[in-house]
Structure 1
Amino acid sequence: MTTKPALTLYLAAPRGFCAGVDRAIKIVEMALTKWGAPVYVRHEIVHNKYVVDGLKALGAVFVEELDDVPDDRPVIFSAHGVPKSIPAEAARREMIYVDATCPLVSKVHIEAERHHEAGLQMVMIGHAGHPETIGTMGQLPAGEVLLVETVEDVAQVRPRDPAKLAFITQTTLSVDDTAAIVAALQARFPAIIGPHKEDICYATTNRQASVKAIAPKIDALLVIGAPNSSNSRRLVEVGRAAGCAYAQLVHRATEIDWRALEGIRSVGITAGASAPEVLVNEVLDAFRSRYDTTVELVETAKEHVEFKVPRVLRVQE
Structure 2
Amino acid sequence: MSDVSTTSEAQAGSTDQIKPFMVEAAGVRGRVVRLADAVQEVLSRHAYPAPVAGVLAEMLALGAALGSLLKFEGIFTLQTKSDGPVRTMVVDMTSEGNLRGYADYDADAVAAVATDRTTLEVSDLLGEGYLAFTVDQGANTERYQGIVQLTGSKLADSVQHYFRQSEQLSTALRSAAGQSEDGGWRAGAIILQQMPAEEAKEQGLARDSEREEGWLRALTLLSTAKDQELLSEELTPNELLFRLYHEDGVRVFPGRDLAFGCRCSRDRVSQVLISVAPNDLESLKDNGRVEVICEFCRTAYHFDDDDLRVLQENADAETPRN
TM-score norm. by structure 1 comes to 0.29
Q: TM-score, normalised to structure 2's length? A: 0.28
Please identify which structure carries the higher strand content: 2
Larger Rg: 2
